[in-house]
Amino acid sequence: MKAILTLLFLCITSLVWAQPESSNLPASLGKDGGFSFAHFNELTVPKKLFHPEDCDVYQEDLLEAYQHNKNFQEEALLPSLVALAYYPELRDTKIRFVYHDTKTTLAARPRLLSLFRGREKRTYTIFIDKNVKGQEGILFEDFPFNAQVGGLGHEYAHIIDYSKRSGLNVLWLGIKYLFSKKARAKLEHKVDKIAIERGLGWQALAWEEHVLHNSEASKKYKTYKKRLYLSAEEIKNHMDLCPLYEEGR
């Protein structure tokens, strides 16, 4: 009973946190006349390194294609769109991007009430941490662009996983995630693999590299991340199993 009440409390508070800030997105963005969204939407070959200046020319087309039912935040707009292009089935899914102190850089959660609607009518929130205290975490804005794409790709993979579960199964998953370290690691490993299989393996590596080797996060925080997510070696091993990465080997 305590576990259920705790989960319900967290879900209810997420409803309060999930009130979107105004995005203040620019009315007009630069457009490359030679760009074909159909090609970008069918990403099948992984890219080792995304540079913001290279992706910027695609921003308007991606925004036009994916803005339906989305509440993007301007500061994270471009990496949000690039990562989302790897998940075309989320094109019409309701996703809010909300700044909040989540104690981790990014977190994707379904909104409680939407779990009891049809799966296609659910609403999801991606929380972006804006209040890291001391060295206990890492701000999203401090990650390199390539790693930002990887982090958001991981959160979209969570949404893919949620979308395949019933409402009750998602609630049970939440209970296990809160109280079982083994279940938590199992889920995060599964979600890492979803992102890798979509073509974001290099970006997953970039995220892991920054957290463990290039950030000022505490040793405690890094140890926690090591226990929860795939290691660099495990990411590479799974990439080796995916035909998508054959050309880049």
Select the more confidently predicted residue: 28 or 87.
87
Decide if pLDDT at 22 tops 80.
no
Residue 99 pLDDT: 94
Rounded distance between C-alpha atoms, residue 158 and residue 128, angstroms: 15
Residue 102 pLDDT: 81
Q: Specify the 3-state DSSP secondary structure of 208.
A: helix
Report which secondary-structure segment, H or E, holds 95: strand 94-99
Of the pLDDT bands very low, low, confident and very high (cuts 50, 70, 90), residue 80 is: very high
Residue 117 pLDDT: 82
Q: Are 81 and 66 in contact (CB under 8 A)?
A: yes
Residue at 122: amino acid letter:
R
Residue at 133: amino acid letter:
K
Residue 186 backbone phi and psi in degrees, to 5: -60, -45
Mean pLDDT, to the nearest integer, of 123-132?
Answer: 92
Decide if pLDDT at 36 tops 90.
no
Q: From 106, 83, 112, 98, select the one nearest 9 (Cα to Cα).
A: 112
Decide if pLDDT at 10 tops 60.
no
Instruction: Give helix 232-240 / helix 181-195 axis angle, nearest 10°.
Output: 50
Q: From 223, 202, 199, 201, select the one nearest 211 (Cα to Cα).
A: 223
Instruction: Identify the burial level of 223 via C-beta atoms within 10 angstroms of its C-beta, where 0-12 means exposed, 13-18 middle and 19 or more buried.
Output: exposed
- What is the chain's mean pLDDT, rounded? 84
Per-residue pLDDT reduced to its tens digit, 183-224: 999 999 999 999 999 999 999 999 999 999 999 999 999 999
Q: Which strands sit side by side in the sheet containing 94-99, from one edge to the other?
A: 70-71, 94-99, 123-128, 106-110
Residue 134 pLDDT: 54
In this prediction the pTM is 0.83
Mean pLDDT, to the nearest integer, of 223-239?
Answer: 97
Residue 25 pLDDT: 36
| Furthest CA-CA distance within the chain | 58
Using a pLDDT cut of 70, give the percent of the chain over it.
80
Q: How far apart are the first and last CA of the chain?
A: 51
Rounded distance between C-alpha atoms, residue 209 and residue 74, angstroms: 25
Q: Are 153 and 206 in contact (CB under 8 A)?
A: no
Mean pLDDT, to the nearest integer, of 93-106?
Answer: 92
Residue 249 pLDDT: 61
